[in-house]
Amino acid sequence: MAVGFVTNTRITHGTPAALYAKGISRHIEYDVIAKNYGDDCTDIAKQLLSYPASNFKVMMGGGANFLKDKSRGGSREDGINIDLEWKKLGGRRKLLNNVRDLQAVTESDGKLLGIFAPSHFPIYVEEQIVGKKTVPRLVEMTEKAIGQLQYDEKGFFLMVEGGMIDVMEHTNQMHFAFGELYEFEEAIRKAREMTDPSETLIIVTADHGHALTMPGYLPVQESLFGSDIIKHFFGDEEITLEVPSIFFATGPGYRGGYRLIGDYIDKEEREQPHSALPSAIPVNSGHHGGEDVGLWADGPLSELFASTLENTEVAYIIKFLLCAKHLDYTFCNASALIETSTQDKSVE
């Protein structure tokens, strides 16, 4: 089975790294951090050179700084250039560094390692505003990845991460977060266009939510980024309060309280793409939430993901469907086991 992933975060970041790396901390993305945990701690980037990552057919995202030695403008101090060492692993392998490289990919190129940014990708909306495209977009990487993987006679597994949605919610910047969500949606749409729903299972989910809510009764003429203004009595005193339509529990959007002098809110500021929406507690980075996370599935056996599931069950079902070798019971042997059980009952 062909395996690959694409992300608009660093390829050593939490979600993509979970596909191939093990370690004491998600933060050991390169050698300088890893050595703080001991000499026997192998950084995540270096694990790209060993199994299973070395066998992946497609790996695309950002994070060049953690793959390159300082002599090449990177952050590594061990003298290892992960990208160049990866190319030496054998077989047909191709390094991709920019949009042109991605566009030029053909089926005959073999395994692909695309590193298109020093760290995470630039923000989608910002690039739209300035009219400058410095990296391939998530939908383009998804299209190329499926194009490379779909010819494997044993099928393929592809993980596509719109990881910048999370990054923008940490900063309470929902204009940017919605833009990243749109880009993720485009990648999903492309995946559906390129695959057959009768033979390809597509799962869309997240690893967590954020501590935000949508309170109040927003007037119909207001933007989603607006606020409801209410009058409230504390004893004999009437005060005016702002109830933001999108409200974070924590983050840099804190404004020192929501009691208004008069009815003034800077609506123009709220509509600016860079604006951080209000939070209740001032911290540099907003916190994740603890609510249930949605999961949507379409395709063969998508019914296995119905109802409420523990998060580890989701991973188990995926491994069951992929016929993971370390499981005693998988989709590949389920029919045989059921048939044997039926025959045993008939004998009885």
Q: Report all structural domains of the chain as residue ranges with CATH numbers, in order of start.
A: 2-207+293-309 (3.40.720.10), 213-282 (no CATH)
Query: β-strand 295-298 against 237-244: which pairing, if any?
Result: unpaired
pTM of the full structure = 0.92
What are the residues facing 298 on neighbouring strands? 202
- Tell me what pLDDT residue 345 has: 47
* Predicted local confidence at residue 328, as pLDDT: 84
More confident residue, 233 or 301: 301
**Residues annotated within a binding site:** 13, 15, 161, 166, 170, 207-208, 288
Residue 237: pLDDT band (50, 70, 90) is confident
Pairing, β 111-115 against β 58-62: parallel
Whose tokens are 């101090």? That residue is 77
- With beta carbons less than 8 A apart as the criterion, state whether 61 and 187 touch: no
Distances 295 to 91, 209, 318 between C-alpha atoms, Å? 37, 12, 13
CB of 109 closer than 8 Å to CB of 92: yes
Annotated binding residues for Zn(2+): 166, 170, 207-208, 288
Query: Strand, coil or helix: what is 161?
Result: strand
Lowest mean pLDDT segment, chosen from 176-185, 210-219, 231-240: 231-240
Q: Read off the tokens for 113.
A: 């390692």
**Residue numbering of the annotated binding site for Mg(2+):** 13, 15, 161
Taking the alpha carbons of 57, 60, 63, 69 in that order, is the dihedral positive or negative? Answer: positive
- What is the structure's pLDDT at 229? 82
